[in-house]
């Protein structure tokens, strides 16, 4: 049992996630993480990986011992502060792989076949008057995955039946039947479609830069389902507008929820509002796993899915 009012819920949760939380525990809510912390004795924070957790917030909760985060990215947590103060943290890995892979593949096809424009073409009555531009097929292409972790490996398995070659880049070579490249540029040069599934944070900041986009080339496509920070957006906008890459499908942006307005003017992009895990099944599983981590903590057991 989670003690009443021992958990501070930080950030706003979508309705169905909030209903799941309310069913399982009684938390005090702080919608804006920059507002003062309400009075109370909190041992735990429940939040989402999209909510930035400022150090100033944590400094107001001296008794804090654990943060349970719905989501797998932890680039919004002040990890140094947590380590220094012995605060544990958990995420919800694995349970969102299906939804994120499905979105990545959906975005990739939307991009290759220009589906948003095809939909508009039919709706606006252009079909009887013109021929819709010919697109490109996935089969026979090489797909490069940046970050072959849980999501990256599941994605590779799902893509293989489409008749593609898989290649990847990451900090370590893995025991997998895919070609390994030791730099992002080398991978970009070797592939037709580059899909990003690595973590955000300082180590991956802007690793997709002008040089990588140049290597991807004018027939290459970029799909970002990782984090906006991984891509140098001015370099991407320049490559897209000058058609130095063929197109990009983006679920994540440097500035969310207000991406650079220049993206809206391009006809070779497909844009989504950071919805990789946004299915009811997945969001429910994420919320449950985050709460199970809190339950484990209050039973004085190890967290189920700690950040290591
Ligand atoms: P994961 O299992 O930790 O996989 C991350 C992979 O990235 C690992 O294989 C890791 O390599 C690799 N990596 C680490 N640093 C790298 C670098 N500098 N360059 C290239 N690769 C690097 O995490 P996951 O569960 O697959 O999730 C991956 C990311 O997806 C999350 O961190 C999150 O940012 C993003 N995500 C987005 C959405 C969305 O809504 N769009 C939803 C969920 C997750 P090693 O294996 O060698 O450590």
Per-residue pLDDT of the chain (308 residues; tens, 9 = 90+): 899 999 999 999 999 999 999 999 999 999 999 999 999 999 999 999 999 999 999 999 999 999 999 999 999 999 999 999 999 999 999 999 999 999 999 999 999 999 999 999 999 999 999 999 999 999 999 999 999 999 999 999 999 999 999 999 999 999 999 999 999 999 999 999 999 999 999 999 999 999 999 999 999 999 999 999 999 999 999 999 999 999 999 999 999 999 999 999 999 999 999 999 999 999 999 999 999 999 999 999 999 999 98
Model-level pTM?
0.97
Which residues does 12 contact at the CB level (< 8 Å), separation at least 6? 31
Q: Is 171 in the pocket of ligand 1 (CB under 6 A)?
A: yes
Residue nearest ligand 1's atom 9 by CA:
149
From residue 102, alpha-carbon distances to 106, 124, 147, 165, 272 in Å are 6, 28, 17, 18, 13
Pocket test for ligand 1, best of 100, 151, 201, 285 (most atoms within 8 A of CB): 151
- Which of 80, 104, 100, 81 has the alpha carbon at shortest distance from 92? 100
Rounded to an integer, what distance in angstroms lies between the CA atom of residue 227 and that of residue 75? 9
Whether the link from the prior residue into 254 is cis, omega within 30° of 0, is no
Please tell me the predicted confidence (pLDDT) of residue 155. 98
Instruction: Please name the residue that has the structure tokens 């804090």.
Output: 64
Residue nearest ligand 1's atom 27 by CA:
151
Three-state DSSP class for residue 284? helix
Residue nearest ligand 1's atom 20 by CA:
170
Q: Is 276 in the pocket of ligand 1 (CB under 6 A)?
A: yes
Please tell me the predicted confidence (pLDDT) of residue 163. 98
**How far does the centroid of ligand 1 lie from the alpha carbon of residue 226, in Å?**
7
User: Catalytic residue at 256?
Assistant: yes
Residue nearest ligand 1's atom 3 by CA:
149
- Is 262:235 a contact under the CB 8 Å cutoff? no
Q: Is 247 in the pocket of ligand 1 (CB under 6 A)?
A: no
Please tell me the predicted confidence (pLDDT) of residue 308. 87
Closest atom, ligand 1, to C-alpha of 199? 32
Please tell me the predicted confidence (pLDDT) of residue 274. 97
**How far does the centroid of ligand 1 lie from the alpha carbon of residue 199, in Å?**
4
From residue 165, alpha-carbon distances to 118, 149, 198 in Å are 27, 18, 19
Rounded to an integer, what distance in angstroms lies between the CA atom of residue 110 and that of residue 38? 45
- Which of 142, 163, 161, 143 has the alpha carbon at shortest distance from 152? 143
Q: Is 198 in the pocket of ligand 1 (CB under 6 A)?
A: yes
Closest atom, ligand 1, to C-alpha of 172? 47
Q: Is 194 in the pocket of ligand 1 (CB under 6 A)?
A: no
């Amino acid at each position: 049992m989670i003690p009443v009012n021992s958990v501070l819920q930080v950030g706003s949760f979508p309705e169905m996630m909030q209903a799941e939380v309310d069913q399982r525990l009684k938390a005090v809510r702080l919608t804006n993480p920059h507002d003062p912390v309400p009075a109370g004795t909190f041992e735990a924070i429940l939040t989402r990986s999209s909510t930035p957790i400022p150090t100033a917030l944590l400094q107001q909760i001296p008794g804090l011992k654990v943060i349970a985060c719905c989501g797998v990215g932890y680039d919004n947590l002040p990890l140094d502060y947590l380590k220094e103060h012995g605060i544990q943290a958990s995420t919800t890995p694995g349970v969102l792989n299906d939804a994120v892979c499905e979105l990545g593949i959906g975005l990739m096809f939307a991009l290759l076949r220009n589906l948003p424009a095809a939909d508009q073409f039919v709706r606006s009555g252009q079909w009887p008057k013109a021929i819709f531009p010919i697109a490109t097929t996935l089969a026979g292409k090489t797909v490069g995955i940046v970050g072959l972790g849980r999501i990256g490996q599941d994605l590779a398995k799902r893509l293989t039946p489409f008749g593609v070659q898989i290649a990847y880049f990451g900090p370590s070579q893995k025991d997998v039947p895919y070609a390994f490249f030791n730099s992002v540029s080398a991978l970009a040069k070797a592939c037709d479609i580059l899909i990003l599934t690595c973590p955000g944070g300082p180590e991956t900041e802007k690793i997709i830069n002008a040089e990588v986009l140049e290597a991807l080339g004018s027939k290459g496509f970029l799909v970002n389902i990782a984090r906006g920070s991984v891509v140098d957006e001015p370099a991407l906008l320049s490559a897209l507008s000058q058609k130095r890459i063929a197109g990009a499908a983006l679920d994540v942006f440097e500035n969310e929820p207000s991406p650079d307005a220049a993206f809206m003017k391009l006809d070779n992009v497909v844009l989504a509002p950071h919805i990789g895990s946004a299915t009811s099944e997945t969001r429910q599983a994420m919320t449950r796993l985050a709460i199970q981590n809190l339950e484990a903590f209050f039973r004085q057991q190890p967290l189920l899915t700690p950040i290591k």
